[in-house]
Every structure is written in C-alpha cells, then in structure tokens.
Chain A
C-alpha cells in the first residue's frame, strides 16, 4: 500500500479550490468585467511560474462519516512566482468567496501572505479585491463582545515598505483595510470602472446624508487626481503590465542595488530638437515630456502619477541602462510652480528613490511655490518645506539640469544634501531669489512712485536688471558649474548615471518609508 490514496485526495482538494466561490459567483464576477484571482495571478507573473502556498487551506464540508463532500477555498490566494525571471511574492483576494473579506478563521494565512515577501527580501504584489478586514457588526452577537481595532502584524506589514518594493492593485470595491492595503505601497493603481476605493462605502456614507453611488464616492478618476493612488488604468491587463515594468527599475529589496538593463541607445546620442525646445519668450510654455523621452534610453520612460500634482512630472527611466528617478516640471500647469499637491508628489518620488537607491535627475523649471489665496489655503509652504526636507534627507547621487527657471525657496529643490551632486544649465536658464517682474515693484517702490512716469521708470529698471539675469553671469562667479548645449544633454546624463552607479549603497532608507 502506497500513499496514493492521500495524494489523490489532495489532488481532488486542489481541483475543488480551483472552483473558487462556485460557478455562479464566478460568472457574476466575470460579468462585472473582472478577472478571477487565479487569472489575475497568471496575467501578472511569467508563464507557469506561480508556486502557490497554502492551496489546501479553506473551509471543508464533511459528512457524518468524515468524508469530504464540499470545499470552499480560503479567499487569500498567495505564493511565489517570477516577473522577468526575478522571484516575487503575490497575494490576491478572491472576491467570489465572502466578498474577499479577510477570513477571521484563516488569520494566519493573511499574516503569512503580507509578511513573507519581507522575510525573503522579494517584492510584494497585492491584488486587492476585498471589502475589508472581515469585521462585521454581526460579530457582536456571535462573539458576545467586541475588540479594539488592530490588524495582525500591522507593524511588520508597514515596515515592509522600508525593506521591499510593494505594488498594490485596486481591482474591485475596496474599503477600510482593503483601501489601506492599496495605499500602503510604493506604487498603486486602480482599474477604471471596476474599482472603487473609500474609507467606507455608499451605505455608510448615506447615514451622514450623502447619497452617492460607489463610482461617485471613490472611483479611480477621483483618486488618481488627488494622489490617493498613483495611476488609474483602463484594464486589469494594463495594471499587470505596469506593475511588471515598475518593478523592472527596482532592486528586489533595499539590501541589493537596482539592476542595470541592456541598451542599444548610444550614450552620446544628440538631438537637434532640444535647441529650440525652450521658447525665448519667457511667457510661453513648452512641453517637458518630449525632452525627457529624448534624453533617456529609448522606450524606458515610465511616468508615475500623471493625473495629480500636475505641475511636477515624476517617473522612472534608464540612462545607459542604469535605472534613475526623474523629477521634472510641467510648465503647462502653473508654469511649473509647485502646488501643495506637486510638493506631495515630489516627496513620494524622492522617497522612492532614496529607499531603492535610484539616482535622481531633476529637470528644473520652477518659478516658485504657487502664490495666491488658493495656494495659501492649501498649505503650500507646509508641503513645500516638507518637500525640501525630503530632498535634503535623500543621500542618493543627484543631477540638476537647469532647463529654465529656479526662483525662491522652491528653487532650492534643484539639489539634495548628498556630496555626489552635479549641475548643468541650459542657456535658457534663469534664476534668483525673486523674479524680476515681481521683485522690482517691491524693491524700487520709492523710486518708481517718485518718477514722473512710474510705468516707464519700472520698465527701465527691469530692462537694466534683465542684463544681469543671463546664466553666464552666474557662471563667471562659479555660481553654476557649467552651461551646456541642450542638444548634448543625454551625454552629460549618461556620464552622471555611470559616475553615480558605484556610489549607490544598499541598506534601509534614512527614515521609515511613509506611504
């Protein structure tokens, strides 16, 4: 007699687990435009690499003789797999079983799924499609008591953010703990139309007098614009592809360095389109993104957070194969002035770079922090100061490319506090503590008011000062290291990336990562 009967029984249980919450619930799930948890895992990972852990866990139904007559699998499906040949850990909620609410009865599996990646120093990907922590007021009756809010191993779950890359995908209506599990990540996405996120859903919100549907309350476009998540995507397949690409720029943990990719793009490639890229007319805007894609390795630009904090552009890319973090201005939004949201977005990028040892390239065109009553009401100086602090705390090598403006305190964001800092200016650059236009009226008020023609006097003073604004005047005093031909920008940046590579150091960030 061998152990074949037991193995047959285990095979049968695995087959039953593949039925998820049953044909009817799976059909309803699909009809809502959603993939099942197992389809999601297959879509995310390299083909046939998923090694499930805990596939036998669930809720069995035995008859009086102890024979298994039914089996409902656990609604956490987890295991290891590969993305581009590197091992990752994936955990997915099964919405077809109890709405994906984390099973109180299988608490150990949830704890395992959330903490295993950190133990083995591999990226964690969460496929979140759960209604919450499984808490229901019905527990009051079944338990005969209540409990203080807590999540098992919460400290370890959050500390993983300072150890391994965490990517979270919102793939259904996620509330409470589900919502927090999406936000507690380095990169998060929601699928448009099929995912919503909130602290509490429409029935609870109705009790405070707001009658809204779940899309109006917490649809992906709301959260992609306020920065609760990084990006919204059109389909789940797009979310998987973006998760894979995001991870390609990062190390498996903070204890290793980001891997260099291969590139056939020449390091010294020039681009004639960069010479006229910045208009001579200071009031005229230009598009920053074509500048970024021109100087980075071909097809490596990965933008993060496109729909919020839009005066700042953040993302990842490669220079001569080396992964780098990119911070840039978008003059189409307040001329590139940093709003409160833009500051928060810049912090998120700089902290990501610091955590995973990515050198930063900053394409600077910042007329200042946003000014005016709305900006003050939004607390722009608080977030601005936080952003400057985050930048100064980062120790990764840093390159500033002074494209156009750098004024006032916001202009300090050009550089971090590390010794490894290089800076180049385009001839279109201009900088100072205050732009001339606003500064003249304040500094020369008495002279202007006393003049017979105040407007003419102001114009005369502005013209006189304009001559001192040229960046070459600053370069004469070694106030800027060099002024370069914009067409050759890529050559300077690939040099920077190669100089920075050996200076990158492994280890935890200088602070605990706060999502």
Chain B
C-alpha cells in the first residue's frame, strides 16, 4: 500500500533523515523541519520502505504536506 509521511508543521525543511530504499518503522524520525525557531522532527505514522522524496532540503513546507512516499 502506497502511503506518504506528511509534515506535522509548517516551516522550512532542514534535513532529510532517511534515504530512498530505507525501511522505516512507525515512529522513525524522517525529517527535521525548522518552525518557531526550533528543530522539529517529523515522525512516520506507518512502517514501510521509502520510495521517493517529495521535498528538497531548504524548501518551505506546509502543514500536512507530503514529504516522502512509502511502500508496504
């Protein structure tokens, strides 16, 4: 089943913390977003294999925006 991991906050994408091909579990921190002058990790809600990144580092993201695609 294809899913996405969505940003929990609006802010700036600081860093990708997982790579395409990597298998992650629910609760894995997949990205760091800067918001309210803090570094806020985005936590996956589902397990799966990362198939694609949808956001570049440095880009502005909206709350709920899909950051990466997952399979499985």
Q: In the assembled complex, how far is the CB of residue A74 from the closest CB belonging to chain B, in whole angstroms? A: 42
In the bound complex, what is the Cα–Cα distance between A368 and B37 (angstroms)?
12
Q: Which of B12-61 contact A (CB under 8 A)?
A: 35-41, 43
For the residues of A in contact with B, the DSSP-based class is: loop
Q: In the assembled complex, how far is the CB of residue B43 from the closest CB belonging to chain A, in whole angstroms? A: 7
In the bound complex, what is the Cα–Cα distance between A370 and B8 (angstroms)?
14
Interface contact B36-A367, CB-CB below 8 Å: yes
Q: In the assembled complex, how far is the CB of residue A372 from the closest CB belonging to chain B, in whole angstroms? A: 7
CB-defined contacts of B69 to chain A, threshold 8 Å: none
B10 an interface residue at 8 Å Cβ cutoff? yes
Interface contact B37-A285, CB-CB below 8 Å: no
In the bound complex, what is the Cα–Cα distance between A218 and B42 (angstroms)?
26
Interface contact A285-B8, CB-CB below 8 Å: no
Interface contact B36-A335, CB-CB below 8 Å: yes
In the bound complex, what is the Cα–Cα distance between A332 and B37 (angstroms)?
13
Which of B38, B43, B62 is close to A331, meaning CB atoms less than 8 Å apart? B38
A284 an interface residue at 8 Å Cβ cutoff? yes
A58 an interface residue at 8 Å Cβ cutoff? no
Chain A residue at minimum C-beta to C-beta distance from B62: A374
Contact with B along A324-353 (1 / 0, CB 8 A): 000000011111010000000000000000
Interface contact A374-B38, CB-CB below 8 Å: no
Interface contact B39-A284, CB-CB below 8 Å: yes
A437 an interface residue at 8 Å Cβ cutoff? yes
Interface contact A334-B40, CB-CB below 8 Å: yes
CB-defined contacts of A333 to chain B, threshold 8 Å: 8-9, 40
Interface contact B9-A285, CB-CB below 8 Å: no
In the bound complex, what is the Cα–Cα distance between A438 and B36 (angstroms)?
10
In the bound complex, what is the Cα–Cα distance between A337 and B40 (angstroms)?
12
Asked whether A435 and B8 contact (CB < 8 A) given A332-B43, A374-B63, the answer is: no
Interface contact B37-A437, CB-CB below 8 Å: yes
The residue in B10, B38, B41 that gathers the most chain A C-beta atoms within 10 A of its C-beta is: B38
Q: In the assembled complex, how far is the CB of residue B56 from the closest CB belonging to chain A, in whole angstroms? A: 21
In the bound complex, what is the Cα–Cα distance between A435 and B62 (angstroms)?
24
A283 an interface residue at 8 Å Cβ cutoff? yes
Chain B residue at minimum C-beta to C-beta distance from A281: B39
Interface contact B10-A335, CB-CB below 8 Å: no
Asked whether A372 and B10 contact (CB < 8 A) given A334-B35, A335-B35, the answer is: yes
The residue in A333, A334, A368, A437 that gathers the most chain B C-beta atoms within 10 A of its C-beta is: A334
- Interface residues of B, CB < 8 Å — how many? 13
Q: In the assembled complex, how far is the CB of residue A85 from the closest CB belonging to chain B, in whole angstroms? A: 38
Contact with B along A346-388 (1 / 0, CB 8 A): 0000000000000000000001101110100000000000000
A458 an interface residue at 8 Å Cβ cutoff? no
A318 an interface residue at 8 Å Cβ cutoff? no
In the bound complex, what is the Cα–Cα distance between A367 and B40 (angstroms)?
14
Which of B9, B39, B63 is close to A283, meaning CB atoms less than 8 Å apart? B39
A310 an interface residue at 8 Å Cβ cutoff? yes
In the bound complex, what is the Cα–Cα distance between A333 and B36 (angstroms)?
10
Interface contact B8-A335, CB-CB below 8 Å: no
CB-defined contacts of B63 to chain A, threshold 8 Å: 374
Q: In the assembled complex, how far is the CB of residue A441 from the closest CB belonging to chain B, in whole angstroms? A: 12
In the bound complex, what is the Cα–Cα distance between A332 and B8 (angstroms)?
8
Interface contact A374-B8, CB-CB below 8 Å: no
CB-defined contacts of A282 to chain B, threshold 8 Å: 38
In the bound complex, what is the Cα–Cα distance between A287 and B60 (angstroms)?
25
In the bound complex, what is the Cα–Cα distance between A368 and B10 (angstroms)?
16
In the bound complex, what is the Cα–Cα distance between A337 and B37 (angstroms)?
11
CB-defined contacts of A331 to chain B, threshold 8 Å: 38, 40
Q: In the assembled complex, how far is the CB of residue A178 from the closest CB belonging to chain B, in whole angstroms? A: 29
Interface contact B37-A335, CB-CB below 8 Å: yes
Which of B8, B35, B36, B41 is close to A310, meaning CB atoms less than 8 Å apart? B8
In the bound complex, what is the Cα–Cα distance between A371 and B38 (angstroms)?
13
Q: In the assembled complex, how far is the CB of residue B34 from the closest CB belonging to chain A, in whole angstroms? A: 8
In the bound complex, what is the Cα–Cα distance between A367 and B9 (angstroms)?
15
CB-defined contacts of B41 to chain A, threshold 8 Å: 285, 332
In the bound complex, what is the Cα–Cα distance between A334 and B10 (angstroms)?
8
Q: In the assembled complex, how far is the CB of residue A449 from the closest CB belonging to chain B, in whole angstroms? A: 22
In the bound complex, what is the Cα–Cα distance between A283 and B63 (angstroms)?
19
In the bound complex, what is the Cα–Cα distance between A227 and B40 (angstroms)?
23
In the bound complex, what is the Cα–Cα distance between A285 and B35 (angstroms)?
11
CB-defined contacts of A368 to chain B, threshold 8 Å: 36
Interface contact B36-A334, CB-CB below 8 Å: yes
Interface contact A334-B9, CB-CB below 8 Å: yes
CB-defined contacts of B39 to chain A, threshold 8 Å: 283-285
Chain B residue at minimum C-beta to C-beta distance from A370: B36
In the bound complex, what is the Cα–Cα distance between A372 and B35 (angstroms)?
10
A-B contact pairs, 29 of them (CB 8 A): A282-B38, A283-B37, A283-B38, A283-B39, A284-B39, A285-B38, A285-B39, A285-B40, A285-B41, A331-B38, A332-B8, A332-B40, A332-B41, A332-B43, A333-B8, A333-B40, A334-B40, A335-B37, A335-B38, A335-B40, A337-B36, A367-B36, A367-B38, A371-B36, A372-B10, A374-B62, A374-B63, A435-B37, A438-B37
The 6 closest A-B pairs by CB, nearest first: A335-B36, A335-B38, A283-B39, A337-B36, A283-B38, A367-B36
Known: A282-B38, A284-B39, A334-B36. 6 other contacts (CB 8 A): A283-B38, A284-B38, A335-B40, A337-B36, A367-B37, A438-B37
